[in-house]
């Protein structure tokens, strides 16, 4: 596999996302659906709420009967029964009457608003003084005001947060169709890499990447599958990759940053059945030596060996593909970037997109983005970093005090 591959721009890499299909869907109880991706359309099959509801503790009234009421000139209403929670009021309110009601209670026929408890005083058993007028529909939620019957509420591809789970509950959808949680295989390579419970000899280091990448995969709502370490041996690597591709929905091989192993990785991908090389090199820093192949329907990645580079590539390059196979509809509208002010000049090479680790620092109400110093091989720099600053290939750097946008880490 010595075919020449041109280094791709990030945009060219993202253009490949559509070649990878979403996983199948499955049904889960709504309480297990948080952080999953919705795979169905959810419509309101009824008006929510299904009746005119009070949003305050107080008195249901016809608003018109309170017009002009004030502390010095209260409105005088007849006090009739109260509304029991969860029940349909068994009476109709006549004009000039008021009925006790609690938050969430159903307004009786004839009432269009609620006077707050602190703006009225009962006088004896049968009368009420109201000190403040209300407008029609004040302190009530109208039938169907939250959602009207047949309205489309959520569409496939939506990330389910607590509020979407609550919304499904409100609509009585107790089981949700969601996309399967991707299983993501993680493989470390390199003769110098040893398991973490082993003391590395001189020239060796512990397998940092497996654990860092596993954390990132979990954070992304997917399930990491650790395949451990493969030494720099072409046959062993091929067998491990073949198994990993078979057993998971996406495979990431990290390490292989030495020239020889990088070649192994490419040769291995090329030998896999039904597999196409897609990317060999991306014009970003860190992360240039990233490799992407498509094995059947599955993305297979060769990530840089430096843990910091691997993390950046995961966040910037791999995440959109992982979102795609998870069925997410917001694949490239990245998570919110955070506006900040650059605290010092940054120099960058033209013709290459740089991702600079930064740390937030707040000073006198301004949020500063402070570049984290230290070589990219140092895991310490990632522990200190809060985010990444992207510098376009057209810039030679960014000046101090420029307003920038930070990708959160």
Q: Are 253 and 265 in contact (CB under 8 A)?
A: yes
Hey, which residues between 166 and 195 contact a copy of itself (CB under 8 A)?
166-174, 190-193
Residues 15-74 that bind a copy of itself (CB under 8 A): 30-31, 34-35, 46, 49-51, 53, 55, 57
State phi, psi for 394 to the nearest 5 degrees. -90, -5
CB atoms within 10 A of CB 403: 10
Do the Cβ atoms of 179 and 244 come closer than 8 Å? Answer: no
Give the residue, chosen from 165, 230, 317, 388, that forms a contact with a copy of itself under the rule CB under 8 A.
165
Q: Give the nearer residue to a copy of itself in terms of CB position, either 213 or 241.
A: 213
Beta strands in 72-146 (DSSP E): 75-82, 97-101, 113-116, 120-123, 127-130, 140-141
Q: Shortest approach of a copy of itself to residue 204 CB, angstroms?
A: 5
200 belongs to the binding site for a copy of itself (CB under 8 A): yes
CB nearer to a copy of itself: give 16 or 283: 283
Contacts of 383 (CB under 8 A, 6+ apart): none
Q: Are 94 and 77 in contact (CB under 8 A)?
A: no
Is 352 exposed, middle or buried, given 0-12, 13-18 or 19+ CB atoms closer than 10 A? middle
Between residue 335 and residue 374, which ones bind a copy of itself under the rule CB under 8 A? 336, 338-340, 360, 365, 367
Residues in contact with a copy of itself, counted by CB under 8 A, come to a total of 101
Site for a copy of itself contains 104 (CB under 8 A): yes
Is 61 or 307 the residue whose CB approaches a copy of itself more closely?
307
Strand partners, 85: none
* Interacting residues with a copy of itself between 249 and 288 (CB under 8 A): 257-261
**Looking only at residues 118 through 147 of this chain, which bind a copy of itself when binding is defined by CB under 8 A?**
141, 145-147
Q: Which candidate, 186, 193, 217, places its Cα nearest to that of 207?
A: 193
Give the shortest CB-322-to-a copy of itself separation in angstroms. 14
Instruction: Give the x/- contact pattern for a copy of itself in 63-82, rule: CB under 8 A.
Output: --------------------
Q: For residues 165 and 272, which CB has a smaller minimum distance to a copy of itself in the complex?
A: 165
- Report in angstroms how near the CB of residue 349 gets to a copy of itself at its nearest: 13
Q: Are 97 and 78 in contact (CB under 8 A)?
A: yes
Kindly state the DSSP code that residue 326 receives in the 8-state scheme: T
Of the candidates 112, 207, 249, 354, which one interacts with a copy of itself according to CB under 8 A?
Answer: 207
Whether the CB-CB separation of 271 and 238 falls below 8 Å is answered with yes
């Amino acid at each position: 596999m010595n075919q020449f591959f041109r280094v791709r721009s990030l945009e060219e890499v993202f253009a490949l996302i559509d070649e990878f299909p979403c996983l199948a869907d499955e049904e889960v109880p709504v309480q297990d659906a948080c952080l999953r991706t919705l795979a169905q359309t959810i419509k309101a099959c009824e008006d929510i709420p299904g009746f005119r509801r009070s949003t305050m503790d107080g008195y249901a009234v016809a608003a018109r009967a309170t017009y002009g009421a004030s502390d010095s000139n209260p409105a005088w209403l007849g006090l009739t029964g109260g509304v029991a929670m969860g029940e349909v009021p068994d009476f109709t309110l006549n004009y000039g009457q008021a009925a006790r009601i609690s938050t969430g209670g159903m307004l009786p026929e004839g009432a269009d608003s609620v006077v707050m408890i602190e703006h009225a005083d009962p006088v004896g058993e049968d009368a009420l003084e109201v000190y403040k007028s209300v407008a029609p529909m004040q302190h009530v939620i109208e039938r169907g005001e939250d959602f009207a019957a047949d309205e489309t509420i959520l569409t496939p591809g939506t990330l389910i947060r607590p509020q979407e789970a609550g919304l499904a509950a409100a609509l009585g959808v107790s089981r949700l169709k969601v996309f399967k949680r991707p299983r993501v295989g993680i493989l470390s390579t390199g003769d110098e890499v040893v398991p973490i419970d082993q003391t590395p000899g001189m020239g060796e280091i512990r397998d940092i990447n497996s654990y860092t990448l596993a954390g990132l995969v979990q954070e992304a709502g997917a399930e990491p599958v650790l395949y451990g370490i493969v030494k720099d041996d072409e046959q062993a690597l091929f067998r491990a990759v073949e198994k990993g591709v078979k057993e998971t929905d996406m495979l990431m091989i990290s390490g292989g940053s030495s020239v020889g192993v990088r070649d192994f990785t490419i040769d291995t991908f090329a030998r896999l059945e039904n597999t196409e090389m897609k990317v060999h090199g991306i014009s970003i820093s860190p992360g240039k030596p990233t490799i992407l192949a498509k094995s059947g329907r599955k993305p297979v990645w060769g990530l840089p060996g430096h843990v910091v580079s691997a993390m950046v590539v995961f966040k910037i390059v791999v995440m959109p593909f992982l979102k795609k196979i998870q069925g997410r509809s917001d694949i490239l509208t990245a998570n919110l970037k955070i506006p900040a002010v650059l605290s010092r000049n940054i120099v960058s090479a033209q013709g290459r997109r740089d991702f600079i680790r930064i740390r937030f620092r707040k000073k006198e109400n301004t949020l500063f983005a402070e570049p984290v110093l230290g070589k990219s091989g140092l895991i310490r720099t990632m522990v200190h970093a809060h985010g990444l600053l992207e510098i376009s290939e057209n810039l030679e750097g960014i000046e101090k005090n420029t307003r920038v946008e930070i990708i959160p880490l």
